[in-house]
Structures are given as structure tokens and as C-alpha cells.
A and B are shown apart, each in its own frame.
Chain A
């Protein structure tokens, strides 16, 4: 299973960015291979409007099985993610990736959208 985190950096000790649309990175963890893939999203800093849908497009391309974030996507991003039938979990803002992963595994994260 591929899990995407909105993230401030790479590895288990990076923090979950509470923002979806304006997250600097998506960190993908594949629990079959136990490997991380860091996807740079910093280009979003130069996007004036519509950051949410842009980041949702990126998630569409990356096609993870689960998305873990903080505040949860806004309306426009959510409509794209819902059509993809993406499984979204929220409330992980500020946690480390390790804490968020464990919270997800223990069913402690709230379902988003």
C-alpha cells in the first residue's frame, strides 16, 4: 500500500504539513518495500490562486492508496479527490511522519471529506 503524507521533508522524523494545497512536499511511503519517495511540491509557492486543485492533480498522478494530511483539503481539491475515491485521513498536522503512520495504523486518525 502506498501512503502519501503532506510533509515538510523526508524520512520518519519529518513533520506532517497541516496544509494540503500549499504543502511543500508529498512524502510517499510504500509499506511493501518500506521505501520513501519524496515528491517536491515547492513550485506551489509561486501559484497565486487554486493551490488546492493543483496539488490534487499531483495526487492524481502519484496515485497513492491513502492520503494523510492535517486540516484536510478545501472544497475544490476535495471534489477532485472524491472523484478519485481517494481515502483521506486528517488531523495529523504537526505530527512526525512516524507518529502519523502509527496513528493511521491504529485507526486513530479522523476520516476526511
Chain B
């Protein structure tokens, strides 16, 4: 089984559009995992129907037991996040302001404060209209993505892919180079980099490559919207060559991508004759990349 992780450094380079297009090509061979849990969007195109749903717990928040609170106010005075206020004749925690630091828990003379783990969302295994399975998650408003949640989504995906004898797991990663990205790279066989010719995308790509090298994972790159700035595209190509990263394709800026998303489709469904050969070639090249 080969795990291909699609990441970009900068957000908005077209990573998820590429994953959706490749998924349409490779739907019989793959299982897809959406690890961009903060801003999951593959479900907009895959129209998943969950067959399994699991609650996901992460992080802690303070809770005050009103029957034990003596309204001494020590917790409110110590709280750095201004999350504790008097309500009636006891103190209460405002959950959205609480960062779960636990200071109040330690200073409460009544032991009235607990730090329960928070149910922050759900992890799903779904059937999709593409035919392939999708493992994805949905967080509650204000909840954080984490390496923990990404590892959970990937573990589910791995077990299911093994059970279904799928050869590839296609992972849609999140932007940046932080904890969720590290977790999505961990254990992967290949990183598919999707970039665009802008200075910020170029800079983020270089930072991402430093991270990927620590994990000794081979990488291949697609320059999306390559024609919007031919100079930077040229610079990126030179850099890829220098770093030994395989250049898979340059895609032009094309409003088909936007139109496809508006219709809830992959770009292949929007215009098959135009895009099928392009993404077929990319998929075959990806399969060969070691």
C-alpha cells in the first residue's frame, strides 16, 4: 500500500481540486482521506454518505461545579483568558474563552473545578458518488485540528484500505508546516506538492520541502496556474531541479476549476475530454514516482 499526501505549504494553490481530479481518475484503486480537517472541503465534491461515525475527543476545558463553588473568585482572578465570570452567586466558565490551561483547576480551594476532555467533532467513513471510500472529519465551530485527529483519520484510512485491498491512499493535507501537516506526512510514501507561481507560495514551498526532507520522503510537484506569473514559474522549476524534486505538470490558469467547484464536481466531470488526458498522465507519473 502506498500513501500519497497532497500538500502545498500555502493554502489556495488548488490542492483539493487536484485531489478531486485524481480521485476521479483513480477511483477504483484508491481510498481518499481528507486530513485538511480545519477547512475540510472534499465532501463538497464527493457527496459522502457516512456508514460509520465516531465522536472525536481532544483538548480540555474547565468546568465549575456550582454546588461546590463558594464564589471566592480566586479562579477568575488567576484566569489569563478572562474566561471566568460571576453568574448569580457562583462563578462560571465561558467555554469559548477557555484555553484549557488548567490554572483555575490548581488554585480552587474547593476542588470545584474539573477539566473534562472535549468532544470537538466527528470522524466519518463514507461511501461517495465516485465509488471510492472517503475518511474525513468534521469539527465543531472553534475547534482545533491537531496531529492527533490527523493521525486518527489516517489510521482509519489505512485499516480500511488494507481490508478493501486498495493499493493507494490519497491524502488531502492541510496548508502550513505545523502539527497537522507533520502528522499527515508521518508514515507517507510520497508527497505531492501543489504550488502556484506567487512569492508566498514559492516561499512556503521551500519551507515545506525542509520539513519533508526531515522525514526522507520523496516528492513530486505540480505547478498550478503556471501562466499567471511565468517568471516565478521558471524560478520554481529551476529550484525543483536543483532539489531533485520531480516536476509532474504545469497546469494553466483555467476557469473550468472554479466552475467545476461551483457545480460540486471534479474538473474531469466538468470537461472530461479536456482534463482526462492531463490528470491521467499525472496519475500514471505519480504511480511511477519512488
Complex contact B187–A17 (CB within 8 A): yes
Complexed CA–CA distance, A48 and B179 (Å): 9
A21, B181: Cα distance in complex, Å: 13
Q: Which of the 9-residue segments B25-33, B72-80, B133-141, B146-154 touches chain A?
A: B146-154
* Residues of A contacting B: mostly: loop
Q: Does the CB pair A72–B214 fall under 8 Å? A: yes
A18-B186, A74-B211 known; A49-B146 Cβ under 8 A: yes
State the interface size on chain B (CB cutoff 8 A): 21
Which chain B positions have C-beta within 8 A of A93? Answer: 187
- Whether the Cβ atoms of B147 and A72 lie closer than 8 Å is no
| A45, B214: Cβ atoms closer than 8 Å | no
Per-residue B-contact encoding for A62-76, CB less than 8 Å = 1, 0 else: 000000001111110
Q: Does B183 contact A (CB under 8 A)?
A: yes
Interfacial residues of chain A within 65-97, with CB under 8 A of chain B in the complex: 70-75, 78, 90-91, 93
Residues on A with C-beta less than 8 A from B187 are: 17-19, 22, 70-71, 93
Question: A46-B148, A48-B147, A71-B188 are known contacts. Are A22 and B183 too (CB-CB below 8 A)?
Answer: yes
Q: Mark B195-228, 1 if CB is under 8 A from A, else 0.
A: 0000000000000000100111100000000000
23 contacts between A and B (CB under 8 A): A19-B186, A21-B182, A45-B148, A45-B151, A46-B148, A47-B147, A48-B59, A48-B148, A49-B146, A49-B148, A49-B179, A51-B148, A52-B182, A71-B185, A71-B217, A72-B216, A74-B182, A74-B186, A74-B215, A75-B211, A75-B214, A78-B214, A93-B187
